[in-house]
Amino acid sequence: MKEEIIIAGFGGQGVLSMGKILAYSAIMQDLEVTWMPSYGPEMRGGTANVCVIISDRKISSPIITKYDTAIILNQQSLDKFEDKVKPGGLLVYDPSGITRAPARKDITVCSIDAIEVAAEAGNPKVYNMAVLGAYLQMKSIVKMENVVKGLEKSIPARYADMIQKNREAIEKGKEKVKIISSVL
């Protein structure tokens, strides 16, 4: 098993921490992971993206050009990464940041209205967890119990209340994901 994921959006949308929680969840399942951000001026606003690789074997190159899954949170990222999803792969996107819908027919496309989940929860910080939930609904590569462990590892003890809130947002994301087109 090897899953290569790109998560891309604006800085501040929780792109890097979503990747980190996903990576930590995989470690809790005794899988190998790499988490490679684009860094530099982009850290200060603008687009942010992180490449996460999860595998049951040692990972060689952390640098890849094609992805099994693209998680897309703004238009720039859709323009940049839609073509880089492997045929038969998955694209999860948040339609609120998108002006042109994905056009690929050879991949599974689904959307998640994560802003709505965050608004219902009354907490904008759980936005990224709703997106993560949508992804995990489509590809259950890590078990929910390990996702909770990943949350516990990623969130400092003083924010312990956030673990439950994040968990709820993940569950909501799982419920609310909409399949637009499927090749599965």
Partner 1 sequence: MAEKILMKGNEAIAISAIRNGVDGYFGYPITPQSEVMETLMKEKPWETTGMVVLQAESELSSINMVYGGASCGKKVMTSSSSPGISLMCEGISYIAGAELPCVIVDVMRGGPGLGTIQPSQSDYSQAVKGGGHGDYHCIVIAPASAQDMYDFVDWGFELAFKYRNPVIILADGIIGQLMEKVELHPMKPRRTEEEVLRDAPWATLGKPAGRERNVITSLSLDANTQENFNRKLKAKYDDIRENEVKFSEYLTEDAEYLFVAFGCSSRICEAAVDILREEGIKAGLIRPITLFPFPEKEISRLAGQVKSIMSIELNLGQMVEDVRLAANGQCPVGFYGRQGGNIYTPEEIVEEFRKFNNLK
Binding stretches for partner 1 (CB under 8 A) = 20, 23-24, 27, 32-37, 39-40, 59-65, 153-154
Question: Residue 125: exposed, middle, or buried by beta-carbon count in 10 A (0-12, 13-18, 19+)?
Answer: middle
Q: How far is the CB of 43 from partner 1 (least distance, A)?
A: 9
Tokens of 61: 């190159």
The count of other CB atoms within 10 Å of the CB of residue 181 is 13
The smaller minimum CB distance to partner 1, of residues 33 and 162, is found at: 33
Q: Give me the least distance between CB of 42 and partner 1, in Å please.
A: 11
Pairing of strands 47-55, 32-37: antiparallel
Of 24 and 127, which has the nearer Cβ to partner 1?
24
Smaller CB separation from partner 1, 17 or 69: 17
The C-alpha atoms of residue 154 and residue 21 are separated, in whole angstroms, by: 6
What minimum distance in Å lies between the beta carbon of 65 and partner 1? 5
